[in-house]
A and B are shown apart, each in its own frame.
Chain A
Amino acid sequence: MNNLSEEERQKILQSSPVGTWALMLIVGGGMVVAWLLMYYGIFLPRGHIG
């Protein structure tokens, strides 16, 4: 980071945070897929209770 010019530094700071977006989508998507698999793949086939 110390080797970057001021122009490069500003470009990085003002660009879209691709890594953060990727992390958010991986974590969020993984959670949704895991939940749906548990709900439709395990919970409902076992037969609901009431």
Chain B
Amino acid sequence: MHIDKLEKNWAGISLGIAGLFVTVILGSAFFHGIHAPSNVETIDSAKLHLSAEFAEDKLGVQHNANGSVTVRMVAGRYGFYPKELTLPAETEITFRWVSLDVIHGVHMPMTNMSTMIVPGYVAQVSTAFHHAGEYPVLCNEYCGMGHAHMWSNIKVVSKAQWEALNKQGGANHG
């Protein structure tokens, strides 16, 4: 099969570019531990309200002994619950999301936070917020007529402010 020299060159440049991107991503993964979130953990979506972890009184923020924070939230048409949360900046935060009905997505603009929430599974994502401020939490997976109105809000404050709030019991639930 004859392939013109220019076509070979163009294919070489295209493959070279793809190879460069793959090399950068693999470098980040192997040397800096940066990789896509992955968590395979099942849960009965019909019994979340009875579960040990996602019952209504268990939702929100949990302060762990090692200084990190775990956030448990339920996504359901049409909202994320709790609707309002306050979290500390510069702290390792593990989000654990479940859906009580259909597939939802969670996206926080101006951050890299984005994942799908599939019924029957626990979506887990770890991250840290470097800047204080208000972060909207939006559903980015069409889930029904009210999809466009499905959101909640996360307020990120400095760690000192958050600890002061936490002592008053104001940071856990909205």
Instruction: Write out the residue numbers on chain A whose beta carbons fall within 8 Å of the beta carbon of B162.
Output: none
Assuming the contacts A17-B6, A20-B6, A31-B17, asked whether A48 and B34 have C-beta atoms less than 8 A apart, the reply is yes
A28 in the interface (beta carbon within 8 A): yes
Indicate with 1 or 0, residue by residue over A32-50, a CB within 8 angstroms of chain B CB atoms: 1001100100011111111
Interface contact A48-B10, CB-CB below 8 Å? no
Chain B residue nearest in CB terms to A20: B6
**Among residues 1 to 47 in chain B, which have CB atoms less than 8 Å away from a CB atom of chain A?**
6, 9-10, 13-14, 16-17, 20-21, 24, 28, 33-35, 37
In the bound assembly, the distance between CA atoms of A9 and B112 in angstroms comes to: 55
Number of interface residues of B (CB under 8 A): 27
How many A residues have CB within 8 A of the partner chain? Answer: 18
Is A24 in contact with B9, judged by CB distance below 8 angstroms? yes
A35 to B25, CA, bound (A): 12
Q: Bits for B108-134, please: 1 = Cβ < 8 Å to A, else 0.
A: 001111110000000001111110000
B134 CB, nearest partner CB in chain A, Å:
16
Q: Is the CB of A46 within 8 A of B37?
A: no
Residues of A within 8 A of B115 (CB): 49
Question: In the complex the two chains form, what is the Cα distance from A50 to B92 in whole Å?
Answer: 11
Give the CA-CA distance A28 to B141 in the complex, in Å: 33
Closest to A27 in B: B13
Q: Measured between alpha carbons, how far is A4 from B20 in the docked complex, in Å?
A: 43
B125 to chain A: which residues have CB within 8 Å?
49-50
Q: Which one of B9, B14, B21, B110 lies within 8 Å of A46 (CB-CB)?
A: B110
A–B pairs, 16, beta carbons within 8 Å: A17-B6, A20-B6, A24-B10, A24-B13, A28-B13, A32-B17, A32-B20, A43-B112, A46-B111, A46-B112, A47-B112, A47-B130, A49-B37, A49-B127, A50-B35, A50-B37
